[in-house]
Amino acid sequence: MNVLDLCKLVAQRLVLALPTVVAVSVIGFFLMRYNLDFGVWTLPDLHHRGRTVTVHVHLKNPIDPLAELKQNPMISPAVIASETQRLGLNQSLPVQYWRWLSHVVGLPALSGVNLPNQPWLATPNLGKTVNGEDVATQLAVRAGNTLLLNVCVIVLTWLLAIPLGVYAAVHWRSKADRLMTLLAAVGMAAPSFVLALIVAVICVRTHWLPVGGLTSVGYEDFTWWHQAWDRLVHLALPVGILTIGGLASLQRQMRGNLLDVLQAEYVRTARAKGLPEHQVIYKHAVRTAINPLITMLGYELAGLLSGSLLVEMVLNYPGLGQWTYNAVLQTDTNVVMASLVMSAVLLVVGNLLADVLLSLADPRIRLEASPS
């Protein structure tokens, strides 16, 4: 596949993915800011015939974005009024959304509110957290940590699950296969957060691995290889726990796919023409059996992001999930919005990568992408 085709494919998928991200942000924004006033309705009273009742249908949002400011006695009403003005809280929902979006994409001039000294093109502005920090900078750090965690998990899962799946399928119904089937059932049923709790307690007891955080105290003064080792050791626990669940299901799928493929006609043909068994399996069967798994990669990522949220919480890993959770507790709408959209972005990018990988691996997709 040449580079041009690949670019075309990526562009195609991006055009499809963009509305998804926008829609997710719309849904999130609606949930955070809805305030639907359907006005006063006059309805017939069901209990008293002939009479009417007036009902004011008003779905009020339980969240007040300015609640923290209003509770603070140091903040004057004028500031609250100006914040209301800036966020457009007295405006209609689409207007509010448009303002939010124009700040997020870094074009504040489009928002319709012209402030003095406002640059035309700015860095993305996702607002402030309740603690007054910049959401965008925090988001970059947190999402980076979660991404690092999940990439490690996916790489490790695939490196382990594919060989184990192939082994189980080739040695179908052997003792090893049965053992792996049992272990996979256990691995799939174990809730990640319970596993994390148990392993964390063991590690706290035995000091085998550090629990919590990304680095040890005094990380800045370490030599570079010591720093690298320190990071690795801190990642080991969350990565290990998240790998167990993914490993079990991926191994099962690989095994199932390969068993299906091994029954196919062309495998029989390959055997009949006298190819050695290892060539039949590794050159023909395994390559076909992997393709469906690549398509699943995107959905796997969705599950992984959810799973890593709980594990991040338990192990105190400074990722997107832990950040979101704390934000929910503080009803920090800016952070919740930002991480909701970010999780969708991560997912979309993951799907895109899966598509690219699939097109590299499967010639049939390649043909579809370039109809020439």
Site for another protein contains 291 (CB under 8 A): no
Quickly count: other Cβ atoms within 10 Å of residue 251's Cβ: 27
Site for another protein in 52-71 (CB under 8 A): 61-63
Choice from 348, 358, 359, 362 touching another protein (CB under 8 A): 348
Which CB sits closer to another protein, 108 or 294? 294
Q: Which residue has the tokens 């029989």?
A: 268
Choice from 242, 254, 293, 340 touching another protein (CB under 8 A): 340
| Alpha-carbon span 99 to 286, nearest angstrom | 51
Spell out, one character per residue from 118 to 147, where the chain touches another protein: x when CB under 8 A holds, - when not: ------------------------------
End-to-end, the C-alpha distance of the chain in Å comes to 13
| Alpha-carbon span 234 to 222, nearest angstrom | 15
| Alpha-carbon span 353 to 1, nearest angstrom | 15
| Alpha-carbon span 226 to 223, nearest angstrom | 5
Site for another protein in 158-217 (CB under 8 A): 185-186, 188-191, 193-194, 197-198, 200-201, 204-205, 211
Which CB sits closer to another protein, 65 or 108? 65
Choice from 209, 260, 353, 366 touching another protein (CB under 8 A): 260
Residues that bind another protein (CB under 8 A): 19-20, 23-24, 27-28, 31-32, 61-63, 185-186, 188-191, 193-194, 197-198, 200-201, 204-205, 211, 255-256, 259-260, 263, 302-303, 305-307, 309-310, 313-314, 321, 324-325, 328-329, 331, 333, 336, 339-340, 343-344, 347-348, 351
